[in-house]
Structure 1
Amino acid sequence: MRKLELRHIHAFVCVAKHLHFSRAAEELDIAAPSLTKLIQEAERLLGVRLFHRTKRSVALSAAGSAYLAEAISALGHLARGEERAILAERGELGRIEIGYVASAAYAGVLQRAVSGFRARYASVDVSIREVPMDGAAGMLRDGLLDAAYVRPPMPLVEGIQSSTVHRDTFVLALPENSALAGSPTVKPAHLHDQCFVLPEQESGTFEVARRGRFSPRLGPRPGTLAAVLACVSLGGNVAVVPHTLAGCITLPGVVYRNIAGKPIASEIALAFRKFERAPAVRAFLEFARSG
């Protein structure tokens, strides 16, 4: 059974707007007889008379008046749908799930990227959540995250890659009553008898031990950097942590000291799927990496 088509609805709304077939035909850029035929087809398919027509006037029928409001609404929905489809194709509409390790927030790199992106792409819903670093790559692979701020080096599963977005250095967090706290800089060799609390990114700890030529005595692995510092504050442990913590986390009983020698690099990277298809996610990745 043949149904009403979009061209019939456009023709009807245009005639209802002008109540004049010639002017409506001119706006639609079609011949007046073709417009008449479209209206007649619409009436036949609907089974109602849409207009009362004489040689001198055109007026909406009761059925036409009732149908007009719904037709205008339908065309409005279609126009909005078209707009949203275009926005989505340009990456200006959608939803993004972003995971992060706490140090990305401490460094401000997370806030700069997300806030800036939200300001530019107001119609994209950006959700953030702290995630354990060792689970971030798997969450990206499984579609639970679209991007993740992590601290390299870390193993990446197949199909996931990362790009450095922030560069930092490692410092030493130690109890304020430690004998080592009396100097602004601590030599790696002087840490040979210390017990190290391990953060999620442990590369800094092992680099300090390598430079000091000792095997580190490893203590607890509490997880988050805040938990690492809490362990240090209780005394008896030290930790190698990103320098950004020194500027934003002050815990009773904890002091920060520089590590002597060449600075030990500490980076924050943005991990993502290599072959991302979602335009909104691609737009975020481009924005975050360009900042």
Structure 2
Amino acid sequence: MLELRHLRALIAIAEEGNLTLAAERLGIQQPPLTRLLRRAEQALGVILFERHPRGMRLTAAGRTLLDGAYDVVDRLEEAVRDVGRVMRGESGELAVGFTNSAMCHPSLPAVLGDFRQRWPDVDVSLTEGNSSQLLGALRDDRVDVAFVRASIPDASDIVVEQLFDEPMVVAVPIGHALAQQVCADGIRLGDLEGEDFILYQSQYNNGLYRTIVDACHGAGFTPSIRQKGPQLMAALNLVAGGLGISIVPQSMGAHHPSQIRYLPLSKKTPLTASLYLIFRPVRMSGAKLYFIHQARKMRCHSSLKSL
């Protein structure tokens, strides 16, 4: 049976046309090379080279085998190179998870764009979910890194890094009475008692949903939740349709500008939307480490102009 060493020997002899030169090229002595050639011919039952005083000349069978030998060796060398690139993180896949509101912050698409330019051969897959879902995906190795709105308590196997606290704003339909008010000090949370709230159900009991509900309780009232959207953008669509108000991260303020007015909260209302970077500190390739490094820079570029 032919082996890779037989094919390499065939290529070397064919290109050098001389056993001695071929042996030197392969880093072996001539007798072992002669034995390799003989065994290859015996395995195939054909003569691969004609021996001449001036060197070795391929037979018809040898020329046919040489074409296949080049193909096999080239494919193997390409596979070896690909493996090396994967091990160095130069290719492969990066799986990124994110909550819906996290992707709406301009810093995250910028990080993804930078990564695409720096590592063009690494396939980036994106997975959206709530914080609990993404934590499970991280632990199941379905994502490599995730951006979530809820902190992860008691997670010894997970690295949790807070990137920033983003101010939250009140989103009201453009014709709403609150939209007509000009308040330099911002809206107090207590002023929203009795309003119809639209929140985003996918974050129920964690993340932004729980942050908003807890803040309302702290202000002395239970929010009247008229509608729950499956995600933050759906909630904003309902606000634009005039169904109620919502409280959203400030970075959402570019959506529906002709239908929604985004009002700042009072400085006495410390309501923010934190963004956390989570990942497992295992099997960190060069590409993954670079992505994490760039994501950490979001701390320095997270400030937004006041709305």
TM superposition score normalised by structure 2: 0.81
The Cα of 1:250 is off from its aligned counterpart by 2.1
1:290–1:24 distance in 2 versus 1, CA, 3 Å: farther
Structure 1 counterpart SS, 2:229: coil
Question: Gapped runs of 5+ residues in structure 2?
Answer: 298-307
Q: Is the 8 A contact 1:229 1:251 kept in 2?
A: no
The Cα of 1:49 is off from its aligned counterpart by 1.0
What's the counterpart of residue 199 of structure 2? Answer: 198
The letter for the 1-side match of 2:261 is V
1:166–1:60 distance in 2 versus 1, CA, 3 Å: farther
The Cα of 1:212 is off from its aligned counterpart by 2.7
1:156–1:87 distance in 2 versus 1, CA, 3 Å: farther
d(CA) in 2 for partners of 1:5 and 1:17?
A: 19
1:218–1:166 distance in 2 versus 1, CA, 3 Å: same
> Which segment drifts farther, 184-193 or 128-137?
128-137
Which of 85, 89, 92 in structure 1 is aligned with 2:83?
Answer: 85
What's the counterpart of residue 236 of structure 2? Answer: 229
> Which segment drifts farther, 229-238 or 254-263?
229-238
Which of 12, 36, 44 in structure 1 is aligned with 2:10?
Answer: 12
The Cα of 1:244 is off from its aligned counterpart by 0.4
What's the counterpart of residue 226 of structure 2? Answer: 219
The Cα of 1:119 is off from its aligned counterpart by 1.7
Question: Gapped runs of 5+ residues in structure 1?
Answer: none
1:259 counterpart = 2:249: no
The Cα of 1:236 is off from its aligned counterpart by 5.8
The Cα of 1:259 is off from its aligned counterpart by 0.5
> Which segment drifts farther, 159-168 or 186-195?
159-168
The letter for the 1-side match of 2:171 is A
d(CA) in 2 for partners of 1:155 and 1:239?
A: 27
The letter for the 2-side match of 1:256 is Y
What's the counterpart of residue 72 of structure 2? Answer: 74
Q: Is the 8 A contact 2:23 2:33 kept in 1?
A: yes
Structure 1 counterpart SS, 2:213: helix
What's the counterpart of residue 249 of structure 1? Answer: 255
1:254–1:242 distance in 2 versus 1, CA, 3 Å: same
1:10–1:44 distance in 2 versus 1, CA, 3 Å: same
d(CA) in 1 for partners of 2:137 and 2:163?
A: 20
What's the counterpart of residue 289 of structure 1? Answer: 295
The Cα of 1:15 is off from its aligned counterpart by 0.8
d(CA) in 2 for partners of 1:236 and 1:76?
A: 64
Structure 2 counterpart SS, 1:202: helix
1:126 counterpart = 2:132: no
What's the counterpart of residue 246 of structure 2? Answer: 239
The Cα of 1:8 is off from its aligned counterpart by 2.2
- Percentage of pairs with the same residue: 29
Aligned residues: 287
Structure 1 counterpart SS, 2:104: helix
> Which segment drifts farther, 65-74 or 221-230?
221-230
1:174–1:132 distance in 2 versus 1, CA, 3 Å: same
Instruction: Give deviations 1:180-203, integer Å, cap 9, x for gaps.
Output: 331241122222232322233224
Q: Is the 8 A contact 1:94 1:280 kept in 2?
A: no
The Cα of 1:61 is off from its aligned counterpart by 0.9
TM superposition score normalised by structure 1: 0.85
The Cα of 1:282 is off from its aligned counterpart by 3.9
1:28-47 matches, within 5 Å, as: 28-47=26-45
Instruction: Give deviations 1:178-230, integer Å, cap 9, x for gaps.
Output: 33331241122222232322233224423542553333333321122222123
d(CA) in 2 for partners of 1:106 and 1:24?
A: 62
d(CA) in 2 for partners of 1:235 and 1:56?
A: 92
d(CA) in 2 for partners of 1:153 and 1:239?
A: 22
